[in-house]
Structure 1
Amino acid sequence: MNLTRRQTLVGLAAATMLPARSAFAQQKTLIVPTLGGVWEQFWRDKIAPEFASESGANVTLDVGNGRVFGANLRAAGVQNPPYSIVMTNEVFSEGLRKEGFFEELDLSKLPNYEATYPVARNTGGYGVVACYSPIGIGYRTDMVRTPPTKWKDLWDNPEFQGKIGLYNFANSAGKMELLLASMLYGKDQYDVDAGFKALADLGQVIQVDFNLSTALAAGEIVVAPFDFAEIARLKKQGLPVDYVVPEEGVLAFDQTLNILANGPEKELAYQYANFILSAEMQELLMREFYVSPTNTAVTVPEDLAYEVPISGDRMSDILQWDWAFVNENQNELSERWASTVG
C-alpha cells in the first residue's frame, strides 16, 4: 500500500509539472535594444514588465546606442540578426535600412501606425518614429541681456561670441547643426560649403559629444542648442536657464522603430512596436522623459506645457534632414568639420 501510494504521488506531481514545463518551453523572448542610464532603468522597471504582461513573452534588454546596435547587426549579418526590432536615431536607421537589415512595415500588424503624425512617417514606409526630443536654443538668463528668438541669433548677437556651445559631429545633433547652417546661409541643407563657412564664422565654440549641461552650468557657455527636456530639468534644479523655440523650426533627436527583415521573433517585434506607439505608452514616455509623443491621440496637459512645447500642430516645426546624404558623405563631412570647426 505504501509503495503504491508513493508511486501515485510521484505520478501526480509529474503530471502537474508537465503543463508548466510545456508553457515554459513555448514562451518566447524578445530582445529589446535600449539606451542606458535612466532609459534603461525605466524600460527595466516599467516598459519591459508591462509588455511581458500583455504579450506573455520574456523581455531581455540589450543596453547600448545606435552605433553599438549597428555594429552588432553588421557583425551578425543580414540573415542572422541578434534583434527582431531596433529603436534608434534615424541617421543610424537609414544606413542599416539601405544595407537590407530592415523590412518595409506590414501595417496590418501595426494598427497604431495610422494614429501617428505625418512627420513620424518620413522613412519610405520602413520605420516610424516613436518619439521626438526636440532641440531649440537654451541659454543662461543671468548672463544674457538679449534672449535669442531664432537660430541666426547665434551669429548675430555679439554677446554670444566665444560663449557658444555645440554638439560635435559625432553626435547626430552636430550633423543637424551643419545641415541647419547650410539651410540658413546657403541654398538648402545640401549647400555644406555655406554651412561650414557659417560655422567657422561663429568663432571659438565649446564642443561636446552629448552633454552641454556641464558647460552651461559652469558659465563656460551662455547659449547652445538644447533639447527642451534638459533645460526644464536644469531649471527645476535651480539653474537660471530658459529656452526658446526658434522661428526657423526645431532640430530633434528621433527614436525610429525598425523591424528586422530576418529577425528571430518578427511577430513579437510588431506587437512590441504597436505597444510602444499606443497612446498609453506614449503618454508614459512623455511624462517620464518630456518627449514629444507621435501618437495624435496624446494631448500634452497644461502642467507639462513648458517641458513639452512641441506637440499637436507644432509637430510640423520639426525640421527634416536627408540622412542618406549625410551617411553617403560621412567621412568627408567629418574631416571638414574637424578642419573647419575644430
Structure 2
Amino acid sequence: MTITRRQALGAMGAMGLGAMLPRYAFAQDAETLVVPTLGGVWEQFWRDNIAPAFEKKTGAKVTLDVGNGRVFGANLRAAGIENPPYSIVMTNEVFAQGLRKEGYFEKLDLAKIPNYADLYPIAKTDDGAALVACYSPIGIGYRSDILAKKPTGWRDFWDNPDVKGQIGLYNFANSAGKMELLLFSKIFGKDQYDTDAGFAALKKLGSTIQVDINLSTALAQGEIVIAPFDFAEIARLKKQGLPVDYIIPEEGLIAFDQTMNICAHAPHKDLAYAYIDFLISPEIQEMMMKQFYISPTNSKVVVPDDLKEQVPVSGKEMDKILQWDWAFVNENQDKLSEQWAKEVG
C-alpha cells in the first residue's frame, strides 16, 4: 500500500489546519508525547499530518512508536503498570480490555475531553472507560461478475450454493476472526456466547480460505467469491477496476475499532487527554475519513456525497455495528483458539 493522492487532497495538511483546530494550553517546550501507531500508510499519515498539527497546537513534541496491539501490550507489561512507556494507547478493544482489567488504563476524565459529548453512543466504550476514535466497518464483499445473485446477509454463506468452496474468512488470530465466531454464534445460536452453535455453523461451511490480514488477493484472483470485507478495502479494489461490490448485511456489521486509552500512570497525562480530544475533533475525524475511508465517531462529521460509496456507514447506520463481549473472548482465548483449529482448520 502506498500513500495516495487522497492524502494531499483530503488531509488538508498540518499547516492548513492551524486556523481550524482548537488550541490547547501547553507551554512545556520539552514535553514529548509518545504516540503508538500502526505502520505503513497509518504511520506515514501520522508523521506527515497528525503529529505536526498536534505539535503546532500544543507546543509539545510527538514521537511515534510503530507497532500493533500485541506489541503495545507486550511493551506495557514489560515496563510494568507504574512505568508505562506511553501516556496513551490506541488499539483494538480486544487488546485494550485485557490491559484495562490488569490496571494499566484509567477510566477517562470526561471533563478533559470536550468532544466526547459529540460521539455516537456506540463509541462511548464501557461507560467512559475508553472511547472509539474510528471504526472500519466490515460487511460482505463479493465478486459481482461471478455471483449471479446479490447477497443480502451473512446467511448467504450457507444458503447460496454458488459460494460453496469459495468462501474467505479471517482466521481466529485476527480480531475479525473472533468477531466472526461471535456473530455466527449469535445468528445460529442463542447469543454471542453460544460458541458451540457458532463452531457448528463454521464447520458446515466446509472448505474455506482463511487469512490473518489480506483477503483482497484471493478475491481479486477469483479464489474466493465472497468474504467479510472492510468496506474501505472493497472501495480500493473497485478503484483498481476489479468487479467487486459490498453489502451491509441485514443481520448487522462487525468492525475494526480503534479505542483510545489513558495509562493509569501516564507520564504526560494532561497532554494525553488533549491528544484524545484532538483526535476526535470534527476536523481530524474528517481528515482520517478522507484518507482511510473510516467511519468517523464524531457525529458532527458529515460524509459528503462523493464519499458515501466509500464510507457507507455513518449517522443512523452506526447502530448496525454490533458489539461484543471482549472480556468473554479474552477469558476463553486458549479454549476458543484450540476449538477453532480443531473444527474449522
Common topology (TM > 0.5): yes
Deviation for aligned residue 1:24: 10
> What letter is aligned with 1:341?
V
CA distance in 2, matches of 1:298, 1:24: 30
Q: Which residue in 2 is equivalent to 1:114?
A: 117
> What letter is aligned with 1:157?
N
Deviation for aligned residue 1:25: 8.1
Q: Secondary structure at the match of 2:286?
A: helix
Select which of 320, 323, 335 maps to 1:332: 335
CA distance in 2, matches of 1:26, 1:53: 11
CA distance in 1, matches of 2:65, 2:216: 27
CA distance in 2, matches of 1:333, 1:110: 37
> What letter is aligned with 2:306?
D
Select which of 169, 188, 191 maps to 1:188: 191
Deviates more, 1:24-33 or 1:315-324: 24-33
Contact kept? 2:27, 2:58, Cα under 8 Å: no
Q: Which residue in 1 is equivalent to 2:31?
A: 28
Cα shift readout 1:12-67 (whole Å, capped 9, x = no counterpart): xxxxxxxxxxx998420000000000000000000000001011111000000000
Q: Which structure would you say has the larger Rg?
A: 1
User: Between the two proteins, what is the percent identity of the paired residues?
Assistant: 69
Q: Secondary structure at the match of 1:234?
A: helix
CA distance in 1, matches of 2:168, 2:180: 11
Moved over 3 A (4+): 23-26
Select which of 261, 267, 280 maps to 1:264: 267
Select which of 277, 294, 298 maps to 2:297: 294
Contact kept? 2:141, 2:229, Cα under 8 Å: yes
> What letter is aligned with 2:261?
N
Cα shift readout 1:128-156 (whole Å, capped 9, x = no counterpart): 00000000000011111111110111111
CA distance in 2, matches of 1:262, 1:201: 48
Q: Secondary structure at the match of 1:248?
A: coil
CA distance in 1, matches of 2:181, 2:127: 24
Q: Secondary structure at the match of 1:75?
A: helix
Q: Which residue in 2 is equivalent to 1:172?
A: 175
Deviation for aligned residue 1:123: 2.0
Between structures 1 and 2, the one with greater helix share? 1
Contact kept? 2:132, 2:258, Cα under 8 Å: yes
Q: Which residue in 2 is equivalent to 1:48?
A: 51
Q: Which residue in 1 is equivalent to 2:200?
A: 197
Select which of 282, 299, 302 maps to 1:279: 282
Contact kept? 2:107, 2:129, Cα under 8 Å: yes
Structure 1 pair 25/124, CA: closer, same or farther in 2 (3 Å)?
closer
Q: Secondary structure at the match of 2:182?
A: helix
> What letter is aligned with 2:97?
E
Scaled by the length of structure 1, the TM-score of the pair is 0.92
Equivalences, count? 320
CA distance in 2, matches of 1:288, 1:182: 34
Q: Secondary structure at the match of 1:286?
A: helix
User: Structure 2 matches for 1:1-342, cutoff 5 A?
Assistant: 26-342=29-345
CA distance in 1, matches of 2:129, 2:28: 32
Cα shift readout 1:213-262 (whole Å, capped 9, x = no counterpart): 01101111000000100000000001110000000111000000000010
